């Protein structure tokens, strides 16, 4: 790449970013923000903010969103985790306008909270921060409804085949600024003890649920049966799709034997998935992946033109090589295939998160998996990524997958790595950025792509 790993400065040190957001350094200081958020949201309410964890920023088109994990203690002495969501905006008065336009109307929809509880929203004008306490989220306005136990119970009961089960607790699993939220609903009784709710994801169409139903009868993985989640249904009011919980545990990539198991199982799962037959979602091609990768790169370009130019040059190389390698026939595809989507349960393997289900050539899922595998292995300090990648591709073919998918998989892999690099920069994750850049540079050289 024309910009080497050593030449890429840490995004936290970028002068242009701090010029646009002059209070960013203060907003990323957890000790200072503990005091700021305590005074804004908790002072005089009977709840004390004990600790503010490491802030999680993400630079956007305008400003920067920041998540603050909090540990609080209520008047009874009970400690719990909370999450503050903040948006830092560049102009004077922008935070106040955002609060009035976006946050206040959402907070007004929230079911009544106990009297004297923490404040739902506020503004830190001197930091140009508009702040809300989860579940008040400007990115996902219906979270205030989906996180309410009574409303969630009312939405779930018709989907649980007449069950009178009630939601006893709502646990935040994952919240992304623009890519949806996952909630875990714990139930009081019945065959199911928990259900997942996915707010703001596009995979709510009836065709997707029909495809998941069809996948549940798929079998034949070489290392035991493959288990797919069952969609329970959707609530339009909550903008939420409900799916059953799959048993098992996620893979652990720290151990060499576990890494080998992951690639063997993933190869078999991908072959089963691609041969399953159901059609769902839109058709998704390499051009779509290139465009998807280019969007965050263009955001990085505002602050690091050299890095962005090198990434776009690699993307152009991907496009040129794609013209010389015919695309495979589209198959049913996961859309976010990665080691983290697997669940090990004895000799069975579950596959999670079908929010990006689509019809794509096999190389799409394979490339996404390889990009995630290589960066994860790199971050663990292991050196067997290339051997694992070859083992995965060979295992996929041995399990019945397309023998011609490997070349196109490498192109999808590069596009996914570029997106990882760009998102790492925008999330100010220097360590992850360095690992992703190192993997991308090695892959670019291996494939003879310009950069």
Q: Give per-residue pLDDT as tens, 118-141.
A: 999 999 999 999 999 999 999 999
* Chain mean position to CA 446: 28
122, 143, 118, 144: which is closest to 132 by C-alpha? 122
Reduced to 3 states (helix: H, G, I; strand: E, B; else coil), residue 361 is coil
Q: What is the pTM of this model?
A: 0.91
What is the average pLDDT value for the chain, to the nearest integer? 89
Mean pLDDT of 203-207: 50
Specify the pLDDT at position 305: 93
For the ranges 22-31, 130-139, 253-262, the lowest mean pLDDT is seen at 253-262
- How far is residue 88 from each of residues 49, 97, 111, 131, 430, measured CA to CA in Å? 21, 12, 27, 9, 20
| pLDDT surpassing 50 at residue 221 | no
Distance CA 170, CA 150 (A): 11
Peptide bond before residue 135 is cis, with ω within 30 degrees of 0: yes
367, 397, 379, 356: which is closest to 433 by C-alpha? 379
The CA angle 319-389-417, to the nearest 5 degrees, is 40
Specify the pLDDT at position 204: 46
Specify the pLDDT at position 223: 35
Reduced to 3 states (helix: H, G, I; strand: E, B; else coil), residue 332 is strand
Specify the pLDDT at position 207: 54
Reduced to 3 states (helix: H, G, I; strand: E, B; else coil), residue 352 is coil
Q: How many CA atoms lie within 13 A of 329 on its CB side?
A: 8
Dump pLDDT digits (tens) for 39-62. 999 999 999 999 999 999 999 998
Mean pLDDT of 345-364: 88
| pLDDT surpassing 70 at residue 190 | no
Q: How many CA atoms lie within 13 A of 260 on its CB side?
A: 4
Long-range contacts of 231-238, Cβ-Cβ distance < 8 Å, separation of 24 or more:
232/156, 232/159, 232/160, 232/195, 233/158, 233/159, 233/209, 234/204, 234/209, 235/146, 235/155, 237/142, 237/145, 237/155, 238/142, 238/145, 238/146, 238/151, 238/152, 238/155, 238/197, 238/199
Specify the pLDDT at position 214: 65
């Amino acid at each position: 790449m024309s910009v080497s790993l050593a030449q890429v400065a840490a995004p936290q040190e970028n002068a242009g970013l701090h010029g646009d957001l002059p209070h960013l350094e203060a907003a990323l200081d957890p000790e200072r923000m503990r005091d700021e958020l305590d005074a804004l949201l908790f002072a005089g309410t009977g709840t004390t903010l004990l600790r503010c964890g490491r802030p999680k920023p993400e630079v956007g088109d305008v400003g920067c969103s920041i998540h603050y994990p909090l540990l609080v203690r209520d008047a009874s002495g009970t400690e719990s985790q909370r999450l503050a969501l903040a948006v830092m905006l560049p102009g004077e008065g922008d935070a106040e306008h955002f609060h009035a336009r976006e946050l206040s109307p959402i907070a007004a929809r929230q079911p009544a909270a106990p009297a004297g509880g923490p404040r739902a929203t506020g503004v830190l004008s001197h930091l140009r921060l508009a702040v809300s306490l989860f579940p008040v989220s400007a990115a996902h306005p219906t979270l205030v409804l989906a996180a309410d136990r009574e409303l969630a119970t009312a939405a779930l009961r018709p989907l649980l085949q007449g069950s009178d089960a009630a939601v006893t607790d709502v646990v935040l699993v994952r919240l992304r600024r623009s890519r949806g939220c996952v909630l875990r609903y714990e139930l009081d009784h019945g065959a199911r003890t928990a259900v997942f709710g996915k707010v703001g994801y596009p995979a709510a169409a009836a065709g997707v649920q029909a495809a998941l139903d069809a996948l549940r009868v798929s079998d034949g993985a070489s290392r035991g049966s493959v288990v797919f989640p069952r969609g329970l249904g959707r609530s339009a009011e909550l903008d939420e799709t409900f799916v059953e919980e799959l048993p098992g545990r996620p893979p652990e990539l720290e151990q060499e034997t576990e890494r080998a198991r992951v690639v063997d199982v993933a190869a078999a799962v991908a072959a089963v998935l691609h041969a399953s037959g159901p059609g769902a979602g839109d058709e998704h091609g390499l051009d779509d992946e290139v465009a998807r990768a280019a969007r965050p790169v263009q955001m990085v370009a505002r602050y690091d033109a050299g890095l962005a130019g090198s990434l776009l040059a690699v993307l152009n190389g991907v496009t040129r090589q794609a013209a010389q390698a015919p695309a495979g026939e589209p198959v049913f595809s996961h859309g976010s295939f990665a080691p983290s989507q697997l669940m090990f349960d004895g000799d069975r393997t579950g596959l999670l998160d079908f929010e990006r289900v689509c019809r794509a050539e096999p190389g799409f899922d394979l490339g996404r998996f390889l990009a995630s595998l290589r960066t994860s292995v790199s971050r663990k300090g292991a050196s067997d990524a290339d051997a694992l990648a070859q083992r995965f591709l060979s295992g996929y073919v041995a399990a019945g997958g397309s023998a011609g998918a490997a070349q196109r998989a490498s192109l999808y892999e590069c596009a996914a790595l570029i997106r990882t690099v760009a998102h790492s920069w925008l999330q100010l994750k220097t360590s992850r950025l360095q690992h992703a850049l190192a993997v991308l540079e090695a892959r670019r050289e291996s494939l003879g792509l310009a950069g």
